[in-house]
Amino acid sequence: MDSFGRVFGVPGLMLAGPVSATEHGVADYGHILNDCYVSATEAEARTACLGMMSTACMDSQDGGHTTLGMTSCLSAEAAVWDGHLNAEYRATRDWARAADEDEATHFPEFAVRAEKLLEAQRAWIAFRDAECALDYAEWGSGSMRNIAYADCMMQMTAERTIELRRMREMFQ
């Protein structure tokens, strides 16, 4: 199974080609997203990073604007956003645990941030996966289903990443 299927677990999805844009897209274009995200100081600026990597990938890859090319480039960007999501979740969880510890002495009933964050993150993952599976299913047997799924995963993962960082920064 190719990188798209490995990363997103789409049953039966096999993309042809010796090396997909997903595999070398991260190495070749990941710095575009990473540089933008790291340097952005506000949620609006972080949101502007969304799509930069996949657009550069599509515009410069042979076949980048084919179904396979677009799917691969969107999947590569989704994978980079997923790395940022995991880092933001860990940082937000650490903040929540510290805030819970501070509050537990006097108000233990309110020291539930870390627990509620975990519940919310698990529910969000289930929602994202179901929502993107719906985007995939809406296209039936059409090849656009692969692009729709990859774009949904990228968009939703990026939005959650930005939201976790905003949440943490609001209280720090």
pLDDT band per the 50, 70, 90 thresholds, residue 172: confident
CB-count burial class (<10 Å; 0-12, 13-18, 19+) for 151: buried
Domain count, the chain: 1
Write the pLDDT tens digit of every residue in 36-91.
Answer: 999 999 999 999 999 999 999 999 988 999 999 999 999 999 999 999 999 999 99
Q: Which domain holds residue 43?
A: 3-171
The pLDDT > 90 percentage for the chain reads 81
